[in-house]
Amino acid sequence: MERTDELAMFRTALEIADLHPKAVALPDDHQVIIGSIRLHYLDWGGSGPPILFLHGGGLNAHTWDCVAAMLRERYRCVALDQRGHGDSEWSPVLDYRIGTHVRDIAGFVEAMGLERPILVGQSMGGLNSIAYAKRHSEKMRGMVIVDVAPEVSSSAAERIRAFTSTPELDSPQAFLELAVKFNPIRDPAVLRRSLYYNLRRTPAGKWTFKHDQRLRSDEGMRSFTEDRIRLASELSRITCPTLVVRGELSDILTDETAEKFARSLTDGRWARVEKSGHNVQGDNPRALLDAMLAFFREAGIS
């Protein structure tokens, strides 16, 4: 696809979201070696305090495009493809533990010179942000955790895993049809754009998701569960201002769980975003931005 076509799709997504940045432009694509793995990231530029965006499992850095396009006017915005996702390298030894992601994030923050960053993470990216903050709160301005907590609905998580583990299909259109059924909240044009960045063609001519589906092994899921349980017992170590966001229609996080999570933090609060499910940043980016900016003002993050 030509760059002009990508830009046209982005304009459509912004219009559907009723977002109107001063300038509509695509981010710069870059790659960096952190430790022994190659990571891809999107650099939106901008000035001001740095924000590092971390996507959910099975997604990629482009899930934050509409949000980053608006915040770049006041903040330095960078979105990372975490290992095994998007255009970043897969782990040759299937190392996708939360602690390993945290080492990647710490190395990336240092390599990019992101001084006292704000971390914004959704789902898997949210858990990785929590784990990073547990170790580095004093070096952070704040954190936004989108529709996840150490305690989540296991049945809802399994529904998402089933969708993101969809095997090879004949065409992007076949994936779009599944995606519309999986997430009827989202406009099909927005889903089509998301799939453009999240699918790859196989040597056999089929299409499949970009992320490493080997991480869905039984052993991988057991270790992930162990990591979440450990996080839940260590939340008191997080001292930076934190906003917990719940999608109004999410089946992953309840109001009660979001409130409990926020209360367990030294400086936490929570907000419900209407007309959104688990992927709040894609379902209702405008309302998510409103919640984030109100939090930034309240917490004095600028």
Indicate the range of 45-59, 152-166, 184-198, 233-247 predicted with least confidence: 152-166
Higher pLDDT: 216 or 12? It is 12
pLDDT at 216: 62
Domains of the chain and CATH, by start: 3-154+214-299 (3.40.50.1820)
Of residues 71 and 223, more confidence is placed in 71
Task: With a cut of 80, say whether residue 120 has pLDDT above it.
Answer: yes
Per residue in 73-100, pLDDT (tens digit) is 999 999 999 999 999 999 999 999 999 9
Res 154 pLDDT > 80: no
- In which element (H, E) is residue 162 found? helix 154-164
Q: Which of 270, 235, 230 is nearest to 253 (CA)?
A: 270
The answer on pLDDT for 223 being more than 70 is: no
Report the chain's mean pLDDT, rounded to a whole number.
94
Q: Answer positive or negative: Cα dihedral of 34, 7, 198, 52.
A: positive
> Could you tell me where the DSSP H helices lie in 166-241?
172-182, 188-198, 218-232
Quick check: helix, strand or coil at residue 276?
Answer: coil
Evaluate if residue 198 carries a pLDDT over 90: yes
Question: How many residues belong to the chain?
Answer: 302
Residue 100 burial (CB count, 10 A): 18
Q: What is the mean pLDDT of residues 251-259?
A: 95
pLDDT one-digit tens code per residue, 17-61: 999 999 999 999 999 999 999 999 999 998 899 999 999 999 999
Confidence label for 222 from pLDDT (cuts 50, 70 and 90): low
Q: Which amino acid is present at 205?
A: G
CA dist., res. 224 & res. 83, Å (int): 15
Buried b (16+ CB within 10 A) or exposed e, 248-282: bbbebbeeebbbebbeebeebbbbbbeebbbbbbb
Q: Look at the pTM and tell me if it is higher than 0.75.
A: yes
Phi, psi of 27 (to 5 degrees): -75, 165
Q: Do the strands 242-247 and 142-146 form a parallel or antiparallel pair, or are they unpaired?
A: parallel
pLDDT above 90: residue 66: yes
Is pLDDT larger for residue 281 or for residue 166?
281
Residue 262 confidence (pLDDT) above 90: yes
Q: Give me the residue label for tokens 């952070």.
A: 140
The whole-angstrom distance between residue 91's C-alpha and the CA centroid of its chain comes to 19
**Encoded tokens for 280:** 């709040």
What pLDDT is recorded for position 221?
Answer: 62
Beta bridge partners of 200: 208
